[in-house]
Amino acid sequence: MGMDTMELPPLQSAAGSFPPPAPPFPPAPPGPAAPHTARRRRWPLAVGAVALALGAGGVGGAIGAGLADGGGGSGPSSQPPLVADGGDGLDSTGTGVMSLADVDVAAVAEKVGPSTVTISNLVGDQVLGTGTGVIITSDGEIVTNAHVVDGADQVRVRLDGETEPRDAEVLAVDAPNDLALLRIDATGLPAATIAAPDDVRVGEPVVAIGFALALDGGASVTTGVVSALDRTLVTEIGALGGLVQTDAAISSGNSGGPLVNARGEVIGINTAVATGNATRSASNVGFAISARTLLAEIDTLRGSSGGETPAEGFLGVSIEDRNDGGAGAVIAEVTEDSPAADAGIEVGDVVIAADGRPVSGQGGLIAAIRDGRAGTVLTLTVLRDGERLDLTATLVAREAE
């Protein structure tokens, strides 16, 4: 049996569910949930490096229910999330190009603050870490990052303006996409509005809200712009695709919180931050799971809340990054009788797009495969001997290891 793989250095496991925040942030008890740290995208191309299995389940486990009897609500909500009407796509106000200086940040924070909640991850009777969540339905559904609730014996949610936490039920977790769906026993809650995915624009002003470093008092508010769209990066749990990049400050504890536009609509869920090392610096490079991914994941998480795991998509390739400075993912191996083989994909093909979305490296193709399910039709644009080809593959269910 083959599997979709990429070449990676050994993965480092986090210390518990919440790794300590990267310098220069000091540790602060209780430890806030650290956003994922973007890995340096430089992987050995030689066969024999650690292989990472892909598909809908991917790294970190498949979608599934967790803490099903931990209190809170009674299954997923039947309410649809609130989604803004699409605008003209020019800016967040529809009145012309807006600068960050024009945004009424206080008004945005006042609008979104009531929909932003504190999430505590408890092991035994101790708080292991603190993160942020977003109310998406008035009857108690909340989204957050999967890594915020990872390893918890119990999850508690504290609403804006309240002093006492409420027990929450973790309905479902999708670790590869770093999203989790929670529910508390409550009604009449202020649900956030999710932005129309096509309205998000590079350069538009944004506001990030969350419980950075678990500091006393209310949520922290930071500002910035959308730096880029459709980013893909590799974290400790695998590849995250379709991300919104921002220069708004995102710190440990912001994980799972909203990134919103000037209208107070959620354009993403803050999830990752790039940090520097001895050879490379990184400043104000944060990432959020896009509204487009979030809306699709809400349906997926609701559907898997009963414990049924969707069949994982399988293409049947091993891939490498290009080493000539070009963009794309190089096909290193094709599994016999796999969807990739049936589609006519060959060793040496350079995949530059998946379903029309650019693939700049391994991560982009990984994310495209992982986001699929058995039966998903995936159109891959490849370069072969200087010729551009569109090849169509139908993913099948990946066999259990």
CA angle 290/142/193 to nearest 5° reads 55
The Cα–Cα gap between 360 and 232 comes to: 9
309: how many CB neighbours lie within 10 A of its CB? 14
The Cα–Cα gap between 365 and 352 comes to: 9
Nearest to 159 by CA among 123, 181, 125, 184: 184
CB-based contact 160:116 (threshold 8 Å): yes
Tokens found for residue 323: 């080493």
Residue 159 in 3-state DSSP? Answer: coil
Burial label for 344, CB within 10 Å (0-12, 13-18, 19+), is: middle
Peptide bond preceding 24 in cis form (omega within 30 of 0): yes
Active-site option among 120, 252, 255, 290: 255
Positive or negative, the CA dihedral 363, 368, 369, 371 is positive
Active-site option among 36, 120, 147, 318: 147
Tokens found for residue 207: 């506001």
Nearest to 396 by CA among 350, 340, 346: 340
Q: Are strands 82-83 and 193-194 parallel, antiparallel or unpaired?
A: parallel
Q: Is residue 36 among the annotated active site residues?
A: no
Nearest to 36 by CA among 326, 291, 271, 244: 271
Tokens found for residue 186: 């409550």
Helices first, then strands: H and E counts in the chain = 5, 25
Positive or negative, the CA dihedral 234, 238, 244, 250 is negative
Tokens found for residue 380: 């891959």
Active-site option among 178, 199, 349, 371: 178
The Cα–Cα gap between 240 and 230 comes to: 10
Distances (CA, A) of 275 to 40, 63, 73: 10, 28, 37
Distances (CA, A) of 94 to 70, 193, 258, 263: 44, 17, 21, 10
Instruction: Name the residues annotated as catalytic.
Output: 147, 178, 255
